Amino acid sequence: MPTLINLTVANGETLVWGRRTYVVGIINVTPDSFSGDGLGSDIPAIVEQALRFEAEGADILDVGAESTRPGSAPVDANEELRRLIPALKAVAAQVRLPISVDTYKAQVARRALQAGAVIINDVWGLKADPALAQVAAETGAPLILMHNQATRQYRDLLPDIFASLGHSVDLAHRAGVSQENIVLDPGIGFGKTPDHNLEILRRLGEFRSLGYPLLVGTSRKSTIGLVLDLPVDQRVEGTAATVALAIAGGADMVRVHDVKQMVRVCRMSDAVIRGWRPAGWGR
């Protein structure tokens, strides 16, 4: 499997795929996050959350300034940058973890990388703004490509997703993004019904055939709420179940809101699935 280069995560470890599951902590600098944790322009609160996530064991921080909740109004690049850049600079000055910028706009990604981000997380897999691939290629930033589409209609769910992700990878390669700098995300909750989301989790192991590391983001999502009939602030156990199952299915990274709890879920799952052991094991 390709390996990200020059990326140091929690506790000064070098990221090595397969060693353990890497936890990506979500920092929403939006006023309208679906999960209710949007921090807006409150820079002290943003920095406090970033430091807490670092202390709780996050490996990467994912900072986003445009909500992706269903029905949310898109924001232009200027507004996204107005929200994002002060937060990024403040977080980068305080934490030692790599920062991912959650954006699908090339202009925003370029500025974010200058402000301290080192990874680009594109929820449209280069289909909204293919120029984003050029930014990643020029800067050497790792690129997370998520599957997304405007409708929930599929001829055949997994083959259709595979084809779409393959197109995203082709766009990245044609721009010069190196193979080792690509991570794929099946896009749970994006352009999919709840049954689609559950099927993807059940069949996640089939995504390994694509040959790239996988990031999975199920945290607090509506499918969990529908299954358990719970509001967004009561979905931690449901999220934990999906995280453990995703790791069993081959997820290399999980993107979560509840870092402390999900780090524990990941470590226990890794001990069973990957043979991971904590430092000092057996002494």
Q: Which residues are catalytic?
A: 221, 255
CA 47 to chain centre: 19
Contact in structure between 54 and 93 (CB atoms under 8 Å): no
CA torsion angle for 206, 209, 212, 218 (degrees, to 10)?
-10
Would you call 279 helix, strand, or coil by DSSP?
Answer: coil
> Which residues share a beta bridge with 66?
none
d(CA 246, CA 215): 9
**Contacts of 275 by beta carbon, 8 Å cutoff, 6+ apart:** none
- Cβ neighbours of residue 229 under 8 Å, at least 6 residues apart? none
For residue 2, give the nearest of 184, 254, 263, 192 by alpha carbon: 184
Closest CA to 88 of 104, 105, 72, 111: 111
Query: Can you read off the two tokens belonging to residue 78?
Result: 């200027």
Cα 104 from chain centroid (whole Å): 13
Residue 56 buriedness (CB in 10 A; 0-12 / 13-18 / 19+): middle
